[in-house]
Structure 1
Amino acid sequence: MPTNPSIARIWRGRTRRDIADSYEQYLRAEGIPPLEKTALGVQLLREDLDEETWFTTISYWSDMQAMTAFTKAEPTKVHHLDRDPELLIELPQRVEIHRVLVDRYGMR
């Protein structure tokens, strides 16, 4: 029986618009696969603005223990990818941890 997520971990970072496609490929290759193997689910979102592009990664977890086991440390600590310092406008200082209150998909 599938486990419903009770925790969402949200990371946000921004890059220059001219390298956004490269950063997206990098995230898809390096950032998303470990989450796909461990989290209950993962989403990668992209918002293109005039000068910069924001990326948001949301991973879903059964509980804090599962998320802490994945991060191998404090779950609110940001774990930067190797190339983040060169590709991001600034390194994010935090991730958000939210309790999942409603978990429904689809249109009615």
Structure 2
Amino acid sequence: VASEHDFADAFLFFRFVANANDGVTSHESLPDLDAVARRLRDPDGIAVGARRRHLLWYDNSFSGRALSGWLRARFALTSAAATGVATALMLRGDVLHVFDDRPFEPTGELYRLR
């Protein structure tokens, strides 16, 4: 960048400044995804069972609301962080939407473990 610009327009550039009061960065406060995936499958993991969505029944499924609540309770996460972890689990392929490739939502949408 320095070789291309004389920085006369430096006010147009964005700078990211870390907050000095934050002792932990956001990625350090989130749980390890491998550990989360293992705990999902543990006997005390998320409750998996038959769920109804409209007129259809889905075996071995759970709702997005249940997954978000489970993540918040087990790992002491905020709602936003729990949604982020669930989204990351979907991107890795650990959690799948039962019907199609919709993104994770902490609602009544149904998901299952891969």
TM-score (norm 2): 0.29
TM-score (norm 1): 0.30
**Between Structure 1 and Structure 2, which shows a larger proportion of helix residues?**
2
Larger radius of gyration: 2
**Between Structure 1 and Structure 2, which shows a larger proportion of strand residues?**
1
